[in-house]
A and B are shown apart, each in its own frame.
Chain A
């Protein structure tokens, strides 16, 4: 079975680009399925809350960050077992 590691997508390499945020909530539990483009977790920046989508469809097997963790772009967030 193929596993996929979801990372927080980069918004740009410029010094101005948003660099990350704080994990607010997981929106999918371990063992639950997620669709490609479906909401995986919610993070907060200073400015707003953002839902982070899963780029792939499958089953959530591992959460690599916890609520209240500070995370940056490129950080691994979750492992999804591909459909």
Chain B
């Protein structure tokens, strides 16, 4: 019999989520009717993260007003904002005992403030109920609205994240037309300008057809925009409706990018096939003190 042909290289392999801790997180999230990007994006790290009792909460519903070619989150008519959501996230964090939390959201072009106040309320609710917990937000571009960025920052997240996602050349193909590479850099720059402490972080995914020169150029752009932390991972196709993977970048090549980012002056850089903006994000604060 002919051997089956593997569709994925050896390094794109995870454990199917199972186990008691995983089931506990699942039951808790379902009980509180909360969404996670772990599920919405079919993240292959779900098993590992949930087993460590961490999850990345997706607030403002699980329907995005924008459609990017790489993303697994549903898009279309967004859901009404659940005003109880900040309290429910805070409760989940308390019950899970999460020490570092990532809060992200869908893009809400339908809301006047882009949902920034709701994100800020979620951060504050989490911190009020969980004094030891550090928070990282991963936000959309808010249409470049500096007031929305300021609203989020005022809630006191230790890490402000906005993902550039891909290199400039591939932005028109992969991102919703309302996103732009330059605007994303401006968002990071605005955040840096408003921050006196804490981190500004971004992430990009590889394997979409970019060259090494494209990646290094993007890292330089991020650094010169005031970004001090970066996460670089492999694009993995969430489903048949998303664009194909052009290339599986080798673990060695990821290390090349990680080293290059450090040499450019990023305080924290992590790169690898399963690295995501929120994956093992607590390592940033563990590696570099927030007060510098």
Contacts and interface: CB of A to CB of B under 8 A. Distances in A.
Contacts, number: 79
The size bracket of the interface on B is 20 to 34
Interface of A: 8-14, 16-18, 24-25, 42-53, 55, 67-68
Contact of B238 (A14, A25, A46, A55): A46
Closest 3 CB pairs of A and B: A9-B18, A48-B44, A50-B16
A25 B46 CA distance: 22
B7 A44 contact: yes
A61 B242 CA distance: 39
Contact of A47 (B22, B39, B42): B42
A17 B238 contact: no
Interface of A is mostly: loop
B13 interface: yes
A24 B4 CA distance: 7
B6 A50 contact: no
A50 B13 CA distance: 5
Given A9-B17, A11-B26, A48 B12 contact: yes
A14 B74 CA distance: 13
Interface of B is mostly: loop
A42 B182 CA distance: 42
A55 B39 CA distance: 22
Given A44-B7, A48-B12, A48-B14, A12 B44 contact: no
A25 B1 CA distance: 13
Nearest to B17: A11
A53 B19 CA distance: 10
A15 B40 CA distance: 9
Contacts of B13: 42, 48-51
Contacts of A46: 42, 237-240, 242
A69 B12 CA distance: 20
Interface in B11-40: 12-18, 22, 26, 29-30, 35, 39-40
Contact of A25 (B4, B12, B14, B40): B4
B16 A47 contact: no
B41 to A, nearest CB: 8
B35 A47 contact: no
A52 to B, nearest CB: 4
B30 A45 contact: no
B30 A13 contact: yes
B29 to A, nearest CB: 7
Contacts of A24: 4, 6-7
Nearest to A39: B15
A9 B240 CA distance: 23
B236 interface: yes
Nearest to B58: A16
Given A13-B30, A49-B7, A68-B4, A55 B236 contact: no
A14 B35 contact: yes
B107 interface: no
A48 B14 CA distance: 7
Given A12-B39, A14-B30, A25-B4, A52 B16 contact: yes
Interface in B208-239: 236-239
